[in-house]
Structure 1
Amino acid sequence: MEIRQLTMDDFEERMALSQFAFQFQLTPESLESRRKKYLPEQDWGAFDENGEMLSALMLIPLETWIQGKLFAMGGIAGVATWPEARRQGCVSKLLVRTLETMKNNGQTISMLHPFAFGFYRKFGYEFTIERKKYTIETRKLPPRLETPGQVKRMPKPDIELLNAVYTAYASLYSGTLVRTWDWWENRILTKTGSFAVYYNEDDKPEGYVFYQIESGKMTIHDWASTTETSRVALWTFVGNHDSMITETSLVAAIDDPLPFLLADPRVKQEVIPYFMSRIVDAEAFVGQYPWASGAREEAVSLRLSDAHAPWNDGLFRLVWSADGEGRLMRVEDEGALSAGWGTPEEAVACDIQALTAMLAGNRKPSLLREVGRISGPEAGIALLERRIPERTTHLMDFF
């Protein structure tokens, strides 16, 4: 089996596989439109000895916010295999190759939307992002309130303005994407709908809503509010459509406080497990991660297991400076652990999924220990918990 990046010569076969796997049909015009935008360097394929494509996936170069800092991220998407080639290890080999590629590219974390969580857990990915979906009857919408500033409809989307508001909002969470101009044009603005922007008293934009009304129902495609005033003003704008709509639906961050703020909080809420993440290069990721500060330099031994990325597998020293700089250093000789670092038996033991859950998924080490996902001395786990800042995960996009 050969694993390689695709070329333009593979376009037809890749499109045929995608249409079959994801059950859609492209018109000849749509196929040609895709051909013009096709980026073969983002596609990887597994091929048999006759050069026939067995399986393929996309590796998209992206950036994600984690703890208020940008990280280079490899987005896995479009994973597809012909039925006769399934259960032959095609996707396994592709994922291992993409891990190596991401490491070489400096992409220290990867994310994907799983067709099955259990399948991707086998390859080191862990569930990190869940969201809430609201469906609210019009009579239960938040009350319409007077606010300073004003909400203005935006007849033609101003990407620069919208992206500035989005970035301020997205940076408050871990897992949100950096949106490029191309992302806005080809991922966001392809949806039908209208924008409205909240401007404060100084005429500075602080929030927006992207919505569509059809058959008496409002669907909110995209929402960003960077202040409480902008949140209230945008909900007042939504409420001003009460004569036109019977209900409103939107997807929000898992920590969204809306039900608490409603007069009648008995609205339909669905918690939706959404995306998975995986630390690709633990040493590099730890060095970039904005840890919490401490009173002095501190350290813990960490026994990390990773079946598919050997550079992450082994015994390490995790060292923090007082100001929150972290270093993960491999211990080549377990007998050489000096006093103060603890013995190998005293190391906190976890797999790459658990480490990802702690650092990119907002899961507390104490919880993971309680449910048997990590083990080790209570003091070491407590130290980890003190040094990992809390930040809710969220993702408004899909790939």
Structure 2
Amino acid sequence: MTALPGFTIRAAEESDRAQFINLARLAFMPTRSQADVEKEMQAEPLNPPGGQGWVLADQAGNLAGRYRHLELALFFQGVQFSMAGVAGVAVAPERRGQKIAQGLIEHTLQRFHEQQIPLSMLYPFQHGFYRKLGWAWVGDTRQYRVSARHIPLYSERVNVMTYRDDLQASIKAVYQEAAQQHNGWLQREPNRWKGYFEPEAGQEIYVYAEAGTLLGYMVIEFTHLEPTKTQWAIVVQEWVALTAAAYRGLIGFLASLRDQVTTIVWNTDPKDPFPHLISEQRCDPAIPTLPFEFGLTHRFGATGGGFMWRLVDVMKALELRPINPGVPFAIAFNIIDPVFGEQQISVDFVEQKMCPTQQPAATSITISVEHLTQLFCGMRSASELQWLGAIEIEGDSTLLPKLDAAWQATPPFCWDFF
């Protein structure tokens, strides 16, 4: 653990409000005044439902750092996992470079481990910083900036209508049903929906319904992407579709706006078939783009390096995670963890479950907690990591394909930011 002499890490108190907000301002919005930011955040509780602020204070009560722990849950392979979100990590400018952030993160991981939380998630300011503390990049997001005229005009678009206040419960139900079928989507508690149905200027919600039953929706934002700001674009901030018809209807609705809107920005997960539906696999020619620098190839989509996950209570995470059917086998994991040290866990893979056992397995894999997290969520495979020399195996190497088959899953995606 990183020593921070002269400082105390404690829960945030109301008397910390001004400093707590100012640290966030200096880290995330330094061009704004303290007064403006305080006024904007005056109605926000320091410790909102499902959230707890933490601070690093010196003996005089001056804050050197802060973060917020969010008590969340997410779905993975049809199972709901408790998850600790880490948000708003900020260090006073005069204290940066003194391992303050590292000390805060190590503290929060110790707390999560004591609470037997299987997973933690955050959106990093630098992936490399958190990777050194065991987090793994798993949030692979895709974005397509395409011409509205290249999107198919599906006939199901006639079932799209504008949002009404009486549709709130139906939208929440659609999200909940979809979330249980997707890896990484959050279990949205009431506080996560706060403000959702009060979109900012330029934002709109549209829904897809058949015979009075809501089957999908999307949140869009009107904006300009080109320097002259003469052409309208729509950024799709969130879309949810329970059926293929709802999916086609939402896409067709966007296409029907082609006389008003030039560009559609479609944000999505890597498995979405959207890029195969476009008539031209290229970015909208109406907006400036860099050349692709690879032969006769057009720039089309972009990959976003988003959120990170970390296994915290590894034993609990393994016990919760279902595996795919297959022949039983056993592996011992020698886990290298930069915060908790080395840990050895032997696991029986049997009856679509992982069962930690006291019986040592004949085959062992030495692996970092970062790479174990990526295997756990389906982001990477053990065979790939062995090929790269990122893991070491002792014993029967033919078990690696079995491990890959057992853990094969769609990598996580998430609509929520924090």
Q: TM-score, normalised by structure 2?
A: 0.85
What number of residue pairs does the alignment pair up?
382
Write the distance in 2 (CA, Å) between the matches of 1:38 and 1:321: 42
Deviation at 1:19, TM superposition (A): 1.0
Which residue in the other structure is 2:288 paired with? none
Which residue in the other structure is 2:286 paired with? none
Q: Does 1:325 align with 2:353?
A: yes
1:186 partner letter: G
Write the distance in 1 (CA, Å) between the matches of 2:198 and 2:268: 19
Equivalent runs, 1:305-320 vs 2, <5 Å: 305-310=336-341, 313-320=342-349
Write the distance in 2 (CA, Å) between the matches of 1:157 and 1:305: 52
Report the secondary structure of 2:165's partner residue: coil
Gapped regions of structure 1 (runs ≥ 5): 332-336
1:146 partner letter: S
Deviation at 1:189, TM superposition (A): 4.0
- Aligned counterpart in structure 2 of residue 108 of structure 1, from 95, 118, 135: 118
Write the distance in 2 (CA, Å) between the matches of 1:88 and 1:224: 44
Q: Does 1:163 align with 2:180?
A: no
Write the distance in 2 (CA, Å) between the matches of 1:155 and 1:41: 30
RMSD: 2.3
- Aligned counterpart in structure 2 of residue 374 of structure 1, from 382, 388, 391: 391
Write the distance in 1 (CA, Å) between the matches of 2:77 and 2:390: 23
Report the secondary structure of 2:43's partner residue: helix
Write the distance in 1 (CA, Å) between the matches of 2:374 and 2:265: 29
Which residue in the other structure is 1:22 paired with? 28
Structure 1 residues 230 and 39: CA distance shift in structure 2, 3 A: closer
Write the distance in 2 (CA, Å) between the matches of 1:361 and 1:275: 15
Deviation at 1:293, TM superposition (A): 2.6
Deviations 1:284-330 (A, max 9, x none): 110111112334x42111111112024xx3222111222x1212346
Report the secondary structure of 2:137's partner residue: strand
Which residue in the other structure is 1:280 paired with? 312
Structure 1 residues 165 and 137: CA distance shift in structure 2, 3 A: same
Deviation at 1:158, TM superposition (A): 2.9
Q: Does 1:3 align with 2:9?
A: yes
Deviation at 1:112, TM superposition (A): 0.7
Structure 1 residues 166 and 114: CA distance shift in structure 2, 3 A: same
Write the distance in 2 (CA, Å) between the matches of 1:188 and 1:18: 26
Structure 1 residues 35 and 41: CA distance shift in structure 2, 3 A: closer
Write the distance in 2 (CA, Å) between the matches of 1:87 and 1:187: 37
Deviations 1:181-203 (A, max 9, x none): 22122357443422221123x53
Contact 1:282 1:328 in 2 (8 A): no
Deviations 1:232-280 (A, max 9, x none): 1111111221221111113111222112122222234111111111001
2:216 partner letter: G
Contact 1:8 1:40 in 2 (8 A): no
Write the distance in 2 (CA, Å) between the matches of 1:104 and 1:30: 35
Q: Does 1:393 align with 2:399?
A: no
Deviation at 1:395, TM superposition (A): 1.2
Contact 2:156 2:249 in 1 (8 A): yes
Which residue in the other structure is 1:179 paired with? 188
Contact 1:255 1:392 in 2 (8 A): no
**Which has the larger helix fraction?**
1
Structure 1 residues 330 and 91: CA distance shift in structure 2, 3 A: farther
Report the secondary structure of 2:188's partner residue: coil
Aligned residues with identical type, % of pairs? 22
Structure 1 residues 271 and 36: CA distance shift in structure 2, 3 A: closer
Deviations 1:98-136 (A, max 9, x none): 112222334210011111111101100010011111111
Deviation at 1:145, TM superposition (A): 2.4
Structure 1 residues 74 and 164: CA distance shift in structure 2, 3 A: same
Which residue in the other structure is 1:204 paired with? 213
Contact 1:6 1:44 in 2 (8 A): yes
Write the distance in 2 (CA, Å) between the matches of 1:125 and 1:132: 21
Which residue in the other structure is 1:334 paired with? none
Which residue in the other structure is 2:159 paired with? 150
Write the distance in 2 (CA, Å) between the matches of 1:350 and 1:330: 19
